[in-house]
Amino acid sequence: MNISTRGRYGLRALVELSTLSREGPVNLRDLSEKQKMSIDYLEQIFNRLKKAGIVRSIRGARGGYILASDEDKITVRQVINALDGPISISNCYNPNLREKSCTGPATCVTRALWQGLEDTIDTMLSGVTLKDLRTEKINLKLRGSRKNGKKNLLRS
């Protein structure tokens, strides 16, 4: 299982958007420069995010993108699902896909393992919001400049 480049870039761009959009809509060109990403690729990503209702576009000379809801309401899981689809560790526990992807018996002990792992990942990604990531970004900058030794908020 890998999160695609689209998923990783999209999440990075949204964290940047949540910071910059406090002053109004953010132009993709500005995001592209700040995050060193291709503007064409960002356009593709933001089209998907817009369709998923995560961002809104504002037209006009001072237009751009803003978050469609508060940053503490948008989870990493929502972003990854919008850009990559649901995370799947294995198809062996999915009754609709099992026959095509799993040759093990119905009582296979690893089936519960894969389901549990997927549930754990889903719970973790559902528990982290854009606000959490923006806050962590600020803390990382503080740690880098002051070496204050604060523990990473995203790790237990």
- The pLDDT of residue 64 is 92
Within-domain flag for 127? yes
Within-domain flag for 151? no
How many independent structural domains does the chain possess?
1
| Residue with more model confidence, 76 or 115 | 76
- Following DSSP, what letter does each residue of 74-130 receive, concatenated? -BHHHHHHHHH-S--S-STT-TTTHHHH--S-TT-THHHHHHHHHHHHHHHHHT-BH
Residue range 71-83, pLDDT digits in tens:
999 999 999 999 9
Within-domain flag for 49? yes
Within-domain flag for 26? yes
Please say if the pLDDT value at position 94 is more than 70: no
Domain CATH for 130: 1.10.10.10
Confidence (pTM):
0.82
Please say if the pLDDT value at position 22 is more than 60: yes
Within-domain flag for 67? yes
Q: Range of 59's domain?
A: 5-146
Within-domain flag for 152? no
Within-domain flag for 47? yes
Question: What whole-number percentage of the chain has pLDDT above 70?
Answer: 81
Give the integer Cα–Cα distance in Å for 15 and 30: 13
Within-domain flag for 106? yes
